[in-house]
Structure 1
């Protein structure tokens, strides 16, 4: 009976009636991947590799998750445009060749968890802003959240690459995205302007020669707090900022009628950095939910991943022009 059952299952897989289970992701499979294995609908080794290469080249796909979502397509389009290719957002041989030229380092590497990674304190973050105001610090909620953000990764992908691994013990070796091999930071003197492109959900950094230095996915504005138009400028950069809630915005789910303050930390509503603009109460900032950047989710302002806004903050200075485009 078992033999007949297994034979039937094999026939169903061969005929496509029952899909075969995907192979387990591995560092070797990702590092060796190329376009000979077309990207899959779900998490794909070649997509992980492409995302890491784009991240290093400063055409950010947002979180490295191995999926061909809108942020990934926008990053590919921006890279194609910068390289003089047809900007269609599709991974093809010409695009892959240009992308491969940007770096020869492996996309995934092994990393040994340190004492600093696990010492905490780690804090469960309540959903309600009023309850967040009671916390002394909006820290990471777990070691895996800290490690995922450290390597620009989706937490689920980190876990999938490291099955049955505990992330709370120093000395444990894990597989992570190799996003450290990035170009040297551009000095603020090299920056001509920042462009916030609403229709494309991206922030672009342009150099003095007009060349694109970096592109980041962004959530831009909201119904309660729509994005401005026209030309503005950077007024200041605040790292590890507090967040002050203004009841005039009447954000959904917030019942408070008085202002209140939320302490700093990576899970603060504005993340790890606030770039203040010459538009009252409007800025470019980080987020506690990097996987939602670039999607229809924002409490206003311009929201980037924490790692992208930290990089951007290192490139701007007081007076850097910021232009909002439709």
Structure 2
């Protein structure tokens, strides 16, 4: 008997292939002589913020035209029916309208201090004894909160000692919708949803992108990812079984390196610096999930054992577009 979902899968894969046709994993970005690609940092930042707000993640927001900003523009154009997928002009115009001010001033609140532990150990055997996998500094917290990294914070805050931040200090940040760690409800789980559970997420391990489609085969969102090691990638069709905030994590070095469960492991507490970040989407493939990360700046570069990592600020948005029952296509 023919599989009624087969043609739908073919369309999904074809769509993602078309959207990223010239955007290989080694592609550094658009041609340097492309007149539609802006060169001004603030213009690029404004475009990144716009794309991020509209669920087309550019990776870290830093005012630079990198691989994932380029792919975000292509995917956004594809999703909105643009004829020229590589033309930045319409995206730039929309960004100038929606994001007139690319920077904001953020005053550090005292209630964020409990989410920071400068003494969080590096070794898993010691981390297992910690109560929470906290940020190691307010600088790290603010960088993740505003979808960027510490290096860009330093660029836009010249002369400020970001290593000595304290409550009451004011920091210039990208004007994104912040990822608020204090709003992540511990151990909250997400149930199936009549609409969201019908969406499909396609994990493209070559392009290092995850794209979400609805039942009408329309692309709704796309985010950069870090896929698993090639030998552990669970190619095929799966299903989201569970979605839960702030999971604990069984750190098993042998499993992470060899894909075989070891005898020595450590149960790490939850938190933004957990290896699985602040959310876990478990799949019908045992032991494999979509999850956050402790190192958002490494998204797209380093590899996990077999899971798929998102920046925490993207991972926390997954329950708004997929739910248990959603199909997951890994290719």
TM-score tier by shorter-chain length is 0.7 to 0.9
1:196 aligns with 2:203: yes
What is aligned with 2:276?
A: 270
Structure 2 distance, partners of 1:105, 1:278, is 44
Structure 2 distance, partners of 1:36, 1:276, is 41
1:301 aligns with 2:298: no
Structure 1 distance, partners of 2:36, 2:199, is 40
Contact 2:47 2:91 in 1 (8 A): no
TM-score (norm 1): 0.76
What is aligned with 2:152?
A: 157
Structure 1 distance, partners of 2:105, 2:253, is 46
Structure 1 distance, partners of 2:42, 2:237, is 41
Structure 1 distance, partners of 2:279, 2:239, is 16
Task: State the SS of the aligned residue for 1:219.
Answer: coil
1:204 Cα shift? 0.8
Structure 1 distance, partners of 2:301, 2:194, is 29
Cα shift readout 1:211-256 (whole Å, capped 9, x = no counterpart): 2111110011114x6221221111111211111123542528xxx7
Structure 1 distance, partners of 2:240, 2:212, is 13
1:259 Cα shift? 2.4
1:93 aligns with 2:89: yes
Cα shift readout 1:109-145 (whole Å, capped 9, x = no counterpart): 2222211233444234444433432322210000011
What is aligned with 2:64?
A: 67
Structure 2 distance, partners of 1:181, 1:209, is 30
1:317 Cα shift? 2.0
Contact 2:199 2:321 in 1 (8 A): no
1:106 aligns with 2:101: yes
Task: State the SS of the aligned residue for 1:213.
Answer: strand
Task: State the SS of the aligned residue for 1:116.
Answer: helix
Which runs of 5 or more residues in structure 2 are unaligned? 1-34, 180-192
Task: State the SS of the aligned residue for 1:251.
Answer: helix
What is aligned with 2:46?
A: 49
With over 3 angstroms needed to count, the CA separation of the structure-2 counterparts of 1:117 and 1:305, relative to structure 1, is same
1:78 aligns with 2:75: yes
Alignment of 1:155-234 (within 5 A): 155-166=150-161, 168-180=165-177, 189-190=195-196, 191-223=198-230, 226-234=232-240
With over 3 angstroms needed to count, the CA separation of the structure-2 counterparts of 1:221 and 1:36, relative to structure 1, is closer
Contact 1:53 1:107 in 2 (8 A): no
Contact 1:78 1:87 in 2 (8 A): yes
Structure 2 distance, partners of 1:87, 1:315, is 23
What is aligned with 1:9?
A: none
Cα shift readout 1:142-184 (whole Å, capped 9, x = no counterpart): 00111111111111111221223355332322221121299xx
Which runs of 5 or more residues in structure 1 are unaligned? 1-34
What is aligned with 1:324?
A: 330
Number of positions where the alignment pairs a residue of Structure 1 with one of Structure 2: 277
Contact 1:188 1:316 in 2 (8 A): no
TM-score (norm 2): 0.75
- Structure index of larger Rg: 1
1:148 aligns with 2:143: yes
Contact 1:53 1:99 in 2 (8 A): yes
